[in-house]
Every structure is written in C-alpha cells, then in structure tokens.
Amino acid sequence: MIAPLATEATELVARLEASKPDGLVYLGLGVAARTVSLAVHALEWKVPVVANSALMFGYAQREWREAWDGWVYVDTVSDDNAMRAALRERDRATAAGPVGVAAYDIGRMLGEAIVRGDHLTRDGLRDGLERVKRLPASSGHDGTTMGFGQWDRGALKGPYLVLREWRDGKTVQYG
C-alpha cells in the first residue's frame, strides 16, 4: 500500500522486488505512480509493469514519462477511433489526450441533450440526456458510443478502455 501523495517508495519497492514477482501491477491513486517509478529505476529493477489510469498524468507531466517507459496502462484514447481522427483534423490539441477528447464528447452530448430536451431547466436537461442514445464517441476504441437512460448513468458504452504504453516519451496503443 502507498499513499496517493507519497514522495518516497524505495523501501516498499525493494520489498516487492525481493519477493521476485513476474511483474508489478500498480493500482494506486494520485502522483504515487511517479514515486513508484522513480524507486523502480533507482533500484534498477527490470520488471514488466501494468498500471491503472494514473499514468494518464504523463499527458500533462512530460518529465514523468521517461520513468514510465515500457509501462502499460489503462487509457481512453485510441488510435483506431474514426471519430477521434476526425476531431484531430479539426483540432489537433483537443484530440491529443483524454481530457480534450472527453471534453469534446461531453460537449457534444450536452448539445444533443439540449436539442432533445423540452425546456431548458434541470429536469429538461436530464430528460434530454436520457434521450441521447448511441452517439458515436471520440473516446475509446472505434465503435464506442455515448448515451444515458432513466436508470443508466454511465455515458460511455462499448470498448472505451484502451491499453497504452509509454515508450520513448510518447504514449502508444498497446497490442
């Protein structure tokens, strides 16, 4: 276990290395992924690493990427999504990472909800959102859609989780 804001993990990582695992799985929160990666490098431990979406910090923190080189992680940005490709042609910066892509998707979904709502009130917007179905998403793999329902509050549908890897300072789709 490691605190989300931990600044030191060498002792913890050394204990993990001593157990000689086949790989390391990072499921922590916050900036501790950076702390763990620095400890792995300090110990010169060569181990395959799979992580959760904490490694998406690499989009904003360029200097963190090198320590994550070779680490595979969960993201929502896919190179094979036709909607994202179309967005990239219009606005390269927005399509470059998960925050811009998600903001674009949410904006489109809200626009569609406003059109479908009967009136511009909280209830009208909710009703409009519940009428948005299978709107193609820029997030996730090609074929991911967005929509809500009366009892469904998860916007993304389909293959929206994407495995990516930090390699040579860049994020590349894995597999």
- Predicted TM-score (pTM) of the model is 0.89
Residue pLDDT, tens place only, 40-66: 999 999 999 999 999 999 999 999 999
Q: What is the C-alpha separation between 152 and 147, in angstroms, rounded?
A: 9
Domains of the chain: 10-76+161-173 (3.40.50.2300), 82-157 (no CATH)
Tokens of 140: 């996730």
Give the closest residue to 108 by CA, choosing from 92, 129, 124.
Answer: 129
pLDDT category of residue 71 using cuts at 50, 70 and 90:
very high
Q: What is the C-alpha separation between 118 and 132, in angstroms, rounded?
A: 13
For residue 64, the model assigns a pLDDT of 95
Is 162 within 8 Å of 73 (Cβ atoms)?
no
